[in-house]
Chains A and B, each alone.
Chain A
Amino acid sequence: MSNASEILTKSRMVSRPSSLEFINSIFTDFFELHGDRHFEDDMAMVGGLAMLNDMPVTVVGIQKGHTVKDNVERRFGSPNPDGYRKVVRLMEQAEKFHRPVIQFINTSGAYPGKGAEERGQGEAIARCLYVSAGLKTPVISIFIGEGGSGGAIAMAAGDRVWMLENGMYAVLSPEGFASILWRDPTRSGEAAELMKITAKDLLQNGVIEKIIPEPEEGIENNLQYTADIIKEELVKELKVLCSKTTEELLEERYKRFRKYGEFNE
């Protein structure tokens, strides 16, 4: 496996597939649903309905672009509050129709913009966490690339959190970390090592449950390899989660997050 600094580079590659490509490679019959019913359709967040074999599911994901134009429209995968409100809307819809929710995360963080603050970025992320905590259907989150800060955990508060081999997840960007610690953002590689951002580290400290392997030739060259593995794992895991009572599901989800913390008493 690569070291943290190499993984950081791989997780951010423009050619790396993003949520829409994963959705189309794992599921069939994808029907995209747009908008948050409050303000606008945030293109940094995609979502809709799809079939996992013969099971209808709700899918949501943060979408980075692959061209400059696409990336500008999608703000390089940094959602506005409207994106997180789209997630809340689709999660509640999934609950109504007893569908599991699958979330794909690929963001350096929520968008730091003027409109984002005017429309309550903090409230939108908080609401995502709050709705996830009580949703009566299974929620599985998968880190497919970058996972940065509050904008990432908003969509990683469900029953299972998985990560691709070359994904990352951190409290703030390694650049930000390096500029605070050493006043030098160029030392991001070093920061990445110290911050324990890789799937291996996160599996070890219990932040994720599973590492999804990527093909040797690079995921940008063979997405189907990884998509097939994710599909197989989803089928397996949803069988387990769907067999639980709502009380069991919610209790286990509460305990999953309740355990985090290291302190002396």
Chain B
Amino acid sequence: MKLFKKKNYIPIGRTVMPDSKGESVKPVEREEPVIPNGMWVKCRFCGALVYKKEMDQFQICPKCGGHFRISAKDRLSITCDEGTFEELDPNMTSKNPMDYPDYDKLIAKMQEKTGLKEGVLTGICQIDGYKTAVAVMDSNFIMASMGSVVGEKITRAIEKSTELGIPIVIFTASGGARMQEGIISLMQMAKTSAAVRRHNDAGLLYITVMTDPTTGGVSASFANLGDVILAEPKATIGFAGRRVIEGTINEKLPDDFQSAEFQLKHGFVDAIVERKDIKNALSRLFKLHGIKKEKEAAENE
């Protein structure tokens, strides 16, 4: 009965393989096409493989229009007027208050990967001529979870804008509180919310732009406290994790659950704005709040 005899597998690839005598032979050196890392990205909405160079600076899927997650630096370059961004607290870095195993290593790895010191960039800039404070969270850095540094930088940016009497725009993206820093991470929710309160009491404008994903402790603090809340299409926005909810209620949730569109429908977002239109939307909102462009303000003095 040799009919069903198991055939010898033929190993492929460049691993060391035994020859017929059972001795290993050296792999053949072959010329392989060189594909630089990160040239192709997969669209999480339609599954298409997208050649990075095919995308413009807004990083939109050319097949379906899905918004890719964008780095904080790229966000600043499409939002701020050229050469106007002045960074606040550029050198602030995390400690390891809880002696969480390998937290320092994780931070170092993330810094190398992203070229950032932490999960948020803050500063003062001009957007279409309007002077404003800005904070941009970067989900590439431990999902922009909020520990001491993220909380402190955002609080300082809000305080600075209160002091200068200017608006603040925060692009939110976060997995929630930074569990590696323990209870101090949770305290950042109260700290940032209190700073928003003071900015508000000074009669100043705060605009939130919710981007993918805005969840957990960030959604339960400053992200949801904007005077105007914009969101990017299809961004995940919610408090509890989808799987946690499914486990609790023992029910499968619809695909659009906790999407930007879901939040618009339920009244928690003012408008969904495509990335390419956000700068224009911010400019219009500044104007509609009676804010003057830097140039006009200078001329009037």
Asked if B95 contacts A262 (CB within 8 A), the reply is yes
Q: B122 at the A/B interface (Cβ < 8 Å)? A: no
- B183 — which chain A residues lie within 8 A by C-beta? 169-171, 195-197, 202, 205, 207
Interface centre among B215, B240, B244 (most CB of A within 10 A): B240
Contact of B89 among A110, A260, A265 (CB under 8 A): A265
Assign chain B's interface to a size class.
35 or more
The answer to whether B93 touches A263 (Cβ under 8 A) is: yes
* B268 at the A interface (CB under 8 A): yes
Task: List the one stretch of A7-15, A47-55, A113-121, A223-231 in contact with chain B.
Answer: A113-121
Contact with B along A238-265 (1 / 0, CB 8 A): 0000000000000001100110111111
Q: Which residue of B lies closest to A78 (CB)?
A: B248
Closest chain A residue to B151, Cβ basis? A261
- Determine whether the beta carbon of B240 is less than 8 Å from that of A157: no
How far apart sit A197 and B223, CA to CA, in the bound complex (Å)? 27
In this complex, the member of B186, B223, B245, B248 whose beta carbon has the largest number of chain A beta carbons within 10 angstroms is: B186
From B94, B182, B201, give the contact of A196 (CB < 8 A): B182
Q: How far is the CA of A122 from the CA of B236 in the complex (A)?
A: 13
Q: Indicate whether A123 reaches chain B with its CB closer than 8 angstroms.
A: yes
Contact (Cβ within 8 A) A260 B219: no
Contact of B189 among A110, A129, A177, A202 (CB under 8 A): A129
Q: 19 A–B contact pairs at CB < 8 A?
A: A114-B253, A117-B258, A119-B266, A126-B222, A126-B224, A126-B225, A133-B190, A134-B201, A149-B186, A156-B190, A170-B182, A171-B182, A171-B183, A205-B184, A257-B194, A260-B187, A261-B187, A261-B191, A265-B91
Contacts beyond the supplied A112-B248, A170-B183: 14 A-B pairs with Cβ under 8 Å = A113-B240, A116-B240, A117-B257, A118-B262, A120-B266, A123-B219, A126-B219, A126-B225, A150-B217, A170-B182, A171-B177, A171-B183, A196-B98, A264-B95
